[in-house]
Amino acid sequence: MRAARLSSSVIRKIAYDDEREALSIWFAETGRYIYHGVPGAVFDALRKAPSAGRYFNECIKRRYRCEPDPERRRYRPPWNG
DSSP calls for the chain: -EEEE---SSEEEEEEETTTTEEEEEETTTEEEEEES--HHHHHHHHH-S-HHHHHHHHTTTTSEEEE-TTTGGGSPPP--
34 within domain boundaries: yes
The predicted pLDDT at position 77 comes to: 55
- When divided into structural domains, the chain yields a total of 1
In a domain, 30, yes or no: yes
* Within-domain flag for 81: no
Q: Is residue 78 a part of any domain in this protein?
A: no
- What residue ranges of the chain have pLDDT lower than 70? 73-81
Residue 16 lies in a domain: yes
Domain of 64, in residue numbers: 2-71
